[in-house]
Chain A
């Protein structure tokens, strides 16, 4: 059923999976439990209570969602073969349109507005790259400048006269509802305060997931599941991905490549816009000039390191959000405790690379970096403020670089395709 588009009367060829084994749900649960145990141990050893407090985890979710949504936007576009470096510009449009709609039509319409803003950005990119065959990077860069300029102009034009607004910021925006499970949240909070090994940590994770969760966060999670299902489990998704792998082959099989690519870029814009909307509607409750701060690019990077897959992207943006939350909340001391965890992760990756993957070079480097980080932890008391800001970038880069193997982008990603090339 899933490969309906490409089965042409022959036996489907089953390629043996090399090296990559699938985890069963039980195994995943073990992995999560193991991770919590390690962090719990770390908390007790270093005394950094904030390392997995429910507050820190909620903040991590808040910081990860915009990046993840931007990355998801990038995923749609690049899976259809269009490089989307204009995510940042689409996000900026999302922040402004989200704020504008929220002010004039209420918080829920703000979500719609953010998507509309992003889709407008996507439309420009789609027209330029898919219809006119402009180089994807050129169009993307132009879009970032357009997004920035347009939002600045629109903010100056529409927010200046409003009470509490100005040319660079909107009035405060109406709140989107957040969901808290009443009794459970407090009960888990009590357990969390006991600071028991493992139990308190599990409680803090659960508490973060059931306290003040924005509806937009839930929407983002649903979008991730939906994306995975649509792109990898439906004929539509297969056709869309075939446009990114081999548009010529797709067209010979009757796929309307131009239409699929166009649609993918529009969806991409909508998702990036929603990521921007999250920033203005949920994270800040206000539109501010320049509030995206390069998150679109980080989302793009998370998607690439996540090997153009939703799971990898989610892991990358989650890691980034978590480390960003730690350094923003705890500063030097928490980051210092985190060094130990980081060293352990790198050592584990190194051993795994050597023993399981027979990849001594990469594993060796990971172990050396891990040992150096461990020494850094042992010999210092805190991390200087000048370096804490780098934590999310360095951690995400190193962990994903060492953990992700054989990144493979869609084969025709970034190539301009013109209709009829197949003939």
Chain B
């Protein structure tokens, strides 16, 4: 029996060690000397990613781009850590606290899942500064928290209009990763935009998983199945807000010889070469701008806090034209954009 316990202990220890290996993103120090403007304060930035982490070619990569820019232009020292699918609240708190303990003064938490843990870590560490992307709730509110949110509904409105203008069948689709209020904001804008163009348009809507199951953001097989269903029942354009599952939507679009719309980053640039030509546009959410603003302002000695909304007006959300597939309708889209900026169109935030 003792033998059993010993082996079990060794196994568990090995398991934990390996899991830890997988978790750490790796530290990289950004050029020690700050060449530009000597007066600037050198800060240390820790970034905690959402499920998917760096390399999802979507949401997290956009945040990573902001961090990379800060590293090369501002010379800040950075450390990254990624979340694990299905982890609990304590794991997120622990991750933020570890970054603080390791001497990182500015912590960026990517994704609304961090709301509660940022709120707690901010309270526990009043000297550190936090930024959270995609959350403006009371949970994460604090004097040392910068809440970076985006008007995804406005950007989605534009791509919804693009989908309706491009659709020949009068039938379009929306694949959401996980049924959360945030993703519903995408849906609301998309539907409103499509209906503004063609009020009789048929819109198929599907969420891959229900919270607390967040695997819908990382399951390309499910994304493919859902999009296949939409194309086979007559849709010719599908917009996805499903993070890493979006790759499956593009594969399905390619197989059906139809169109797809990307999200968060300009996916016609980042997606694999064989599916690039199905992506007519992407709803760009400039998480990188938000992250960079937070770090830049901190190096200038001004700590951001409170909620800042990045919308169409401020250029925080936009649509992409890479590939030239929507050049013919660009004038119409820009007209909608202008109307939203001028306040003539109010885009709903809930479907």
B residues 38-74 near A (Cβ < 8 Å) are 51-57, 61
A residues 101-159 near B (Cβ < 8 Å) are 128, 132-135, 138-139, 142-143, 145-146, 148-153, 156, 159
A residues 167-192 near B (Cβ < 8 Å) are 167-169, 171-172
CB pair A132–B4 under 8 Å, yes or no, is yes
CB pair B225–A325 under 8 Å, yes or no, is yes
CB pair A331–B205 under 8 Å, yes or no, is yes
Known: A59-B229, A386-B179. A166 touches B61 (CB 8 A): yes
A residues 263-295 near B (Cβ < 8 Å) are 279, 283-286, 288-291, 293-294
Interface membership of B210, Cβ < 8 A: yes
CB pair B210–A283 under 8 Å, yes or no, is no
CB pair A146–B53 under 8 Å, yes or no, is no
CB pair A134–B7 under 8 Å, yes or no, is yes
Kindly list chain A residues whose C-beta atoms are within 8 Å of the C-beta of B82. 167-168
Interface membership of A362, Cβ < 8 A: no
Interface membership of A330, Cβ < 8 A: yes
Kindly list chain A residues whose C-beta atoms are within 8 Å of the C-beta of B18. 145-146, 149-150, 153
Q: Within the complex, which residue of A148, A150, A156, A389 is in contact with B209, where a contact is CB–CB below 8 Å?
A: A389
Chain B min CB distance to A104 (Å): 17
Chain-B contact segment, one of A16-24, A50-58, A240-248: A50-58
CB pair A146–B228 under 8 Å, yes or no, is no
Chain-A contact segment, one of B21-29, B191-199, B280-288, B332-340: B21-29
Chain A min CB distance to B143 (Å): 34
Give the distance in Å from the alpha carbon of A159 to the alpha carbon of B84 in the complex: 18
Kindly list chain B residues whose C-beta atoms are within 8 Å of the C-beta of A331. 204-206
Kindly list chain A residues whose C-beta atoms are within 8 Å of the C-beta of B56. 166, 168-169
Q: Within the complex, which residue of A59, A139, A290 is in contact with B228, where a contact is CB–CB below 8 Å?
A: A59
Interface membership of B15, Cβ < 8 A: yes
CB pair B228–A134 under 8 Å, yes or no, is no
Chain A min CB distance to B256 (Å): 10
Instruction: Please indicate which of the listed interface residues B12, B84, B204, B232 has the most CB atoms of chain A within 10 Å of its own CB.
Output: B232
Known: A288-B244, A328-B206. A145 touches B16 (CB 8 A): yes
Q: Within the complex, which residue of B14, B179, B230, B247 is in contact with A146, where a contact is CB–CB below 8 Å?
A: B14
Q: 1/0 per position for B207-245, CB-CB distance to A under 8 A? A: 111100101001111101110111011000000000010
Chain A min CB distance to B77 (Å): 20
By beta carbon, the residue of chain A nearest B53 is A168
By beta carbon, the residue of chain A nearest B231 is A55
Kindly list chain B residues whose C-beta atoms are within 8 Å of the C-beta of A214. none
By beta carbon, the residue of chain B nearest A290 is B85
For the A-B complex, the count of residue pairs with Cβ-Cβ distances under 8 Å equals 186
Give the distance in Å from the alpha carbon of A172 to the alpha carbon of B224 in the complex: 14
Interface bin, chain A:
35 or more
Kindly list chain A residues whose C-beta atoms are within 8 Å of the C-beta of B233. 49-50, 329-330
Give the distance in Å from the alpha carbon of A146 to the alpha carbon of B51 in the complex: 18
Known: A63-B225, A167-B82. A288 touches B218 (CB 8 A): yes
Give the distance in Å from the alpha carbon of A164 to the alpha carbon of B55 in the complex: 8
Give the distance in Å from the alpha carbon of A153 to the alpha carbon of B228 in the complex: 32
Kindly list chain A residues whose C-beta atoms are within 8 Å of the C-beta of B275. 172
Chain A min CB distance to B214 (Å): 9
Interface membership of A385, Cβ < 8 A: yes
Q: Within the complex, which residue of B15, B230, B248 is in contact with A284, where a contact is CB–CB below 8 Å?
A: B248
Q: Within the complex, which residue of B19, B213, B226 is in contact with A145, where a contact is CB–CB below 8 Å?
A: B19
Kindly list chain B residues whose C-beta atoms are within 8 Å of the C-beta of A149. 15, 18-23
Chain B min CB distance to A131 (Å): 9
Interface membership of B3, Cβ < 8 A: yes
CB pair A167–B53 under 8 Å, yes or no, is yes
By beta carbon, the residue of chain A nearest B49 is A168
Chain B min CB distance to A23 (Å): 32
Give the distance in Å from the alpha carbon of A160 to the alpha carbon of B25 in the complex: 11
Q: Give the B-binding residues of A (Cβ under 8 A).
A: 49-50, 53, 55-56, 59, 62-63, 128, 132-135, 138-139, 142-143, 145-146, 148-153, 156, 159-160, 164-169, 171-172, 279, 283-286, 288-291, 293-294, 324-325, 328-331, 385-386, 389-390, 416
Q: Give the A-binding residues of B (Cβ under 8 A).
A: 3-4, 7-8, 11-12, 14-16, 18-23, 25-26, 51-57, 61, 82, 84-86, 179, 204-210, 213, 215, 218-222, 224-226, 228-230, 232-233, 244, 247-248, 251, 272-275
Identify 24 residue pairs between A and B in the complex whose beta-carbon atoms are under 8 Å apart, listed by A's number: A53-B232, A55-B228, A62-B225, A134-B11, A149-B18, A160-B55, A166-B55, A166-B56, A167-B55, A167-B82, A168-B54, A283-B221, A284-B224, A285-B247, A286-B220, A286-B247, A289-B218, A290-B84, A290-B215, A329-B229, A329-B230, A385-B205, A385-B207, A416-B4
The 10 closest A-B pairs by CB, nearest first: A166-B55, A329-B229, A152-B22, A149-B19, A149-B18, A283-B221, A284-B220, A290-B85, A293-B215, A145-B15
